[in-house]
Structure 1
Amino acid sequence: MELEVYTYQFLRRRSRISSSRRRKSRSISPRRLKSRSPTPKRHKRRKSRDSMSLVSESSSASGGPKENKDDSEILKIEEENKKRRQQEAELKLIEEETAKRVEAAMRKKVDESLNAENIKLEIQKRLEEGRKKLLVEVDAQLEREKEAALIES
């Protein structure tokens, strides 16, 4: 009986309040006894709120739709940075490989030119000239030492 009175008072109170300023009741029971069903518009709104709550729960750590945009922008920037770093790493590897190939090619060319017959002959000729010059200098030094020894004695 008391419940019915409460419901009656609630309905009377509800009828006085304009539709734009409806209050939500604290108890669930008046809502259950209410015979009217929500309008499709309110139903859609309630439904969208429910779907939003799922989205907001998943993005509650990030803050909201605006921050979701910021997060997506941050993710996009991070992906671009990752791609850029990957390209830089690839370019660095290519440069290193190219440097190794150039060095190997130069070494091969130097070895080939050193092993060429005319180069070998030129090296032998210069070695012989150096030996002859050294022998001449040693002979001249010995002669000077002999003369110095004769002068002293």
Structure 2
Amino acid sequence: MHDTNLLQLITDDMAPAQHLLELLHAESLALHGRDLFLLEDILAQKQALVIMLEQRGRKRSQILVSLNLKPDREGLAELARNSSIGEELLTQGDALSALMSECRAANEHNGLSIKLQQVTTANQMRILTGGEAPTLYDNRGSTSRFTKPRPLSQA
């Protein structure tokens, strides 16, 4: 009984996890294109999927814990050894785990892209506002000691 419930939960999570992966790839493209409206839409969809997948993941863990098993692959393997649908349970569990790993990797890639864009934007703002130290010499052969930020309207 618990094995069929667990298998159903795993199977039900495959489509949302695949959709999350597709959203993460779309997010990557939107980040490179700096399409803020699309990013906003993707973020809303992503948050809903992540919440749903987390809730279902907790349900799966609770089922394993209620059977005095570890809430990981080892616990799933233990349940599979004593189940008539054990092979399918492990196959689907591994497939979902692989899909979630792909999602994690895509999300990390997008996070690095965001950080890179933040650094680039901060550097551009510093240049525009005059916040960076002078690197050129003046007519006396020295660099200016006082650099004061200037408003963007004067940049």
Smaller-chain TM-score bracket: 0.3 to 0.5
Structure of higher RCO (CA pairs closer than 8 Å, 6+ residues apart): 2
What TM-score, normalized to structure 1?
0.33
What TM-score, normalized to structure 2?
0.33
Bigger Rg over Cα: 1
